[in-house]
Structure 1
Amino acid sequence: MATQSELTLADYTFPAARLRRRISTPARTPLVLIACGSFSPITFLHLRMFEMAADYARFNTQFEVVGAYLSCVGDAYKKTGLVKAEHRVNMCSLAVAQSSWISMDPWEALHAEYLETAKVLDHFNYEINEVLGGVETGEGRKKCHIALLAGADLIQTMSTPGVWAESDIDYILKNFGAFIVERTGTDIDEALSTLQPWKSNIWVIQQLVQNDISSTKVRLFLRRDMSIRYLVPEPVVQYIEEHELYDDDGAASTGSRSGKGKGAEGGQEAKPAGEAGSSGSGGG
């Protein structure tokens, strides 16, 4: 498989090999989970969020999960600790190499310009429902519901005035919705109180086993020359060591950005301001 540095948009093909093309219960709605973010680096919490969301959907909704995707922000997102997109895509690819249902899609990272979260979700909707035609049910074809998967930090940024354009919040939550994993230190009820118009399209997942791993903490450990094993997948540890990433936070990064647009770590971080002052979600 080509690494991200060898890929271009001209070479790009949508990674559909792990997308299940038929649901087992025709009455259910097929669901595809999308985690957008920095993933610098990807951690076990990022991966665990998919499993939590799949369990939640199976027991608490009429959805049937048929696939999941990681989508890394591109190099236009300037932030301290954000190594080049090719490294983050490669690390994510290594992290999900053994997964039967989680894929890495490099499409967002291949763009030189910053892409808003809404555009990324539109991309998945187009590829899965328009190009592939959704999934088979045994009683005909059904379009997949595309949903954002994020940490509670995302909802907190959405409820903070001035961080997101309301039109973008409305577009994302009305058309796609979000599965949100609760996070220590985030008052999810307070955050949701300002998002009542979209509450039926927001699913909150409780962490039954608390996990406080964050990309920020992993980078801190690396700067202090401390072990990060069992915080991130072993192939990612080896990749970081091989490429000498994060030795000095910022030295291998594409640049830094301060001010508005930076959200809490661990689950999701806000993307930099985009059109109409909007920002999106990011994982570390």
Structure 2
Amino acid sequence: MSFFNNSQQAPPYSDQQLQYAQFQQQQQQLQGSSIEAASAPQQPPAAPAEEYHFPTQRLRAQQYPNRTPLVLVVCGSFSPITIMHLRMCEMASDWVRMVEDNYEVVGIYLSPVSDAYKKSNLAAAHHRIRMCQLAVEDTTNCVMVDPWEATQPRYVPTAQVLDHFRHEINKTLGGIDSIESAERKQARVALLCGADLMHSMSTPGLWSPDDLDRILGGDGGLYVVERHGTDLEEAKEALSKWTDHISVIPQGVPIDLSSTKVRLFLHKKMSVRYFVPNPVIDYIIENNLYGTTKEDRATYVQLVNGKAASGSETA
């Protein structure tokens, strides 16, 4: 008998199916209410809770002028973020540096999904943004967290998220700086993901052809990290139209870790140390996320974070 109950695992592609179903329903609601909205008295827009600023603090200047600057975007729930999300960024950076000598990674962005995603066990957007920020705080890589998608009132399809990054980087910023020239260069913006997302893209009817072309065509692309035991050949064949824009990155060391498994460990009051960055574990406990409560806080502090209940380090 398995230690974990398989019924608690989500069926394949359920996340993507839910996202698109919600988006389509929202579009229908908007179209159905357009006449009423046009005749209704116009109200001034509500002031945003916090003014948005596109993060650029770790966006690197290009060092190799003969290469195309590359910005990678990781979309996901990040509920919570795990070391696998961070490893994906490292593996992609290594791959581009060692294999694709026509590109240069100048920035990697984590883009948490909005609360409109309505996924079960999804922590509030402000918590997921902060956990991602804590996770990348001490990294020396060019990884940043963009809160734009997470703060939208409606679900934003992946194609539109990438359009947002292309606009901010190539239009608003005017491109990427170079250490050898005052002229900015237009960046390629590509999606970085795991094998499961690529499989979902190859599933008929799940992604619209227009969205796939906006993600994979033109100056876009897909960098996908293999998962141990997952065969991507069928997915590659289904997406053969964009073969030249898809890079499959071997995982090297198999790491079978997901946010779902981390939440299950927390639910069972088991340690998630070395699965999740320590600052994120502290944040989860402090904010009583994923079943952690004030009543059993001492247990979590001791077992999950490796500290004694009094807060002193254990031997």
Fold shared by both chains (TM-score > 0.5): yes
Encode CA deviations 1:96-124: one digit per residue, 9 max, x unaligned.
11124110110001111110111111111
Match of 2:198 in 1: 155
Gaps of 5+ in 2: 1-46, 293-315
Contact 1:156 1:186 in 2 (8 A): no
What's the CA shift for 1:190? 1.3
Which of the numbers 103, 109, 131 marks the counterpart of 1:63? Answer: 103
Which amino acid in the other structure matches residue 167 of structure 2? Y
Local SS of the residue matching 2:115: coil
CA contact (8 A) 2:223 2:249 kept: yes
Among 130, 140, 144, the alignment partner of 1:103 is: 144
Letter in 1 for 2:192: L
2: CA distance between counterparts of 1:192 and 1:156? 9
Paired with 2:226 and 2:264, the residues of 1 have a C-alpha distance of 23
Aligned pairs (5 A) from 1:76-225: 76-100=116-140, 101-137=142-178, 138-139=180-181, 140-175=183-218, 176-225=220-269
Distance 1:94 1:10, change over 3 A: closer
Give the structure 2 partner of residue 39 of structure 1.
Answer: 78
Kept in 1: contact 2:169–2:175 (CA 8 A): yes
- Structure index of larger Rg: 2
* Deviation by residue 1:118-168 (Cα, 9 ceiling, x = unmatched): 111111111111111112333432111111000011110011112111221
Counterpart-to-counterpart distance in 2, 1:124 and 1:136 = 16
| Shift of residue 41, structure 1, vs aligned partner | 0.5
Which whole-Å deviations, capped at 9, do the CAs of 1:205-235 have from their partners, x for residues lacking one?
0011111111010011011110101100000
Gapped regions of structure 1 (runs ≥ 5): 1-6, 249-284
User: C-alpha distance in 2, partners of 1:87/1:136?
Assistant: 32
Aligned to 2:5: none
Paired position in structure 1 for 2:54: 14
CA distance in structure 1 between the aligned counterparts of 2:49 and 2:231, rounded to whole angstroms: 40
Task: Please tell me the residue identity of whatever aligns with 1:232.
Answer: V
| Matched-pair contact (CA < 8 Å) for 2:228–2:251 | no
Q: Please name the residue that 2:68 is paired with.
A: 29
**What is the identity percentage for the equivalent residue pairs of Structure 1 and Structure 2?**
54
Q: Which amino acid aligns with 1:154?
A: L
1:212-263 deviations in Å (ceiling 9; x for gaps): 1110100110111101011000001001111111118xxxxxxxxxxxxxxx
> CA 1:15–1:127 in 2, change beyond 3 Å: closer, same or farther?
same
**Structure 2 length-normalised TM:** 0.74
Q: Which amino acid is 2:92 matched to?
A: A
Q: Which moved more, 1:59-68 or 1:136-145?
A: 136-145
How large is the RMSD of aligned CA atoms in angstroms?
A: 1.4
Q: Which moved more, 1:239-248 or 1:173-182?
A: 239-248
